[in-house]
Amino acid sequence: MEHLKVNTIGVLTSGGDSPGMNAAVRAVVRTALGENMRVYGIRFGYAGLLENDMVEMNMKSVSDCLQRGGTILYTARSKEFAAPEGVEKAARILRQAEIDGLVVIGGDGSFRGARDLTAAGIPCIGIPGTIDNDIACSDYTIGFDTAVNTVIESVDKLRDTSKSHHRCSVVEVMGRNAGYIAIHAGIACGAIAALVPEVPFDIDRDVCDRIKKTLHLGRSHFIVMVSEGVGNTEEIARYIKAQTGVDTRATILGHVQRGGSPTGRDRIIASRMGYYAVKLLRSGFGGRVVAIREDNIVDYDIDEALSFHKDMDRELYHLVGTISI
């Protein structure tokens, strides 16, 4: 969809929150205002849109939010919006508010909603915001760097007590279907192994045998990084202890990984993407997803973006085990 007249836009955050979403919202609002456009913030994602929960935003609306985690627009999931009737209702509400286009910050599920709204006559631009870094059309997603750094900080502290007790710590990180946090944090934290859903593993060969080998070399404490989609972390810890004799404990970091002040990288990329999204709408384009490729901001047709497949970098995966022994 293109060559549409867009004078008033909306912006919402949808799905799981991620650090840097506020930077993207800020960039959208301030770029739009700089283009003499009106901009409405829609609270609580698609669920809030169906409740007509929106407010017109100005420069002050996004003051002092750049460094804050979470999302000032809040987020939620909506079963009602998933139905065709929900999409039509949302489009009708946007038309009644005289909103000509919408910026949607979120993951694949949020982009499918943006695609449906575009088909219903409301041009949408998607911005990838998820800590999992699993949007296939983009090299990077907003929030990933902050989440990895949160894991690193936590594991560095955990390592102190693991070393004191000659212990193995099995650390579960977020990533139900994607192991990017586990791999990147595993490298940064010196994990002896990283178990991810994309790569089949043998726990004896890939974990227990490595621990036994390094025990003979004099090493006495270990970190094993596990993506939440791999399986029961407590059971993995019990098995490692039974096979190696090393006291092994499971630590589940949970939603702490979603929070915190965004890193510089997340703030900058979010700002670039928000700016680019508004420029697309202002130029009359809809049904697009903003992405970053080789440090360049680009955009794809939303159906094309949803059809991409993102492969795990096997070199990074093997690097974890290679340099940890």
pLDDT digits (tens, 9 = 90+) for 137-168: 999 999 999 999 999 999 999 988 888 778 89
pLDDT of residue 140: 96
Rounded to an integer, the average pLDDT of 269-294 is 97
pLDDT of residue 1: 41
Between 220 and 131, the higher pLDDT residue: 131
What lies within 8 Å, CB to CB, of 132 at 6+ separation is 107, 141, 144, 174, 175, 176, 177, 178, 180, 181
Torsional sign, CA 86, 104, 115, 37: positive
Token look-up 């595993």 returns 186
- Alpha carbons 88 and 91: distance in angstroms, whole number: 5
pLDDT of residue 4: 62
The model carries a pTM of: 0.93
Calculate the alpha carbon distances from 22 to 7, 152, 154, 174 in Å.
Answer: 22, 23, 24, 21
Rounded to an integer, the average pLDDT of 302-323 is 88
**Confidence class for position 322, pLDDT limits 50, 70, 90:** confident
- Alpha carbons 16 and 99: distance in angstroms, whole number: 25
Could you give the angle at the alpha carbon of 227 between the alpha carbons of 268 and 246, nearest 5°?
125
Q: What 8-state DSSP symbol labels residue 177?
A: S
Residues with active-site annotation: 132
pLDDT of residue 218: 76
Could you give the angle at the alpha carbon of 174 between the alpha carbons of 322 and 13, nearest 5°?
135
What tokens appear for 199 in the block?
A: 């790569």
pLDDT single digits (tens) 28-72: 999 999 999 999 999 999 999 999 999 999 999 999 999 999 999
- Alpha carbons 58 and 47: distance in angstroms, whole number: 23
**Confidence class for position 294, pLDDT limits 50, 70, 90:** very high
- Residue 262 exposed, middle or buried by CB count within 10 Å (0-12, 13-18, 19+): buried
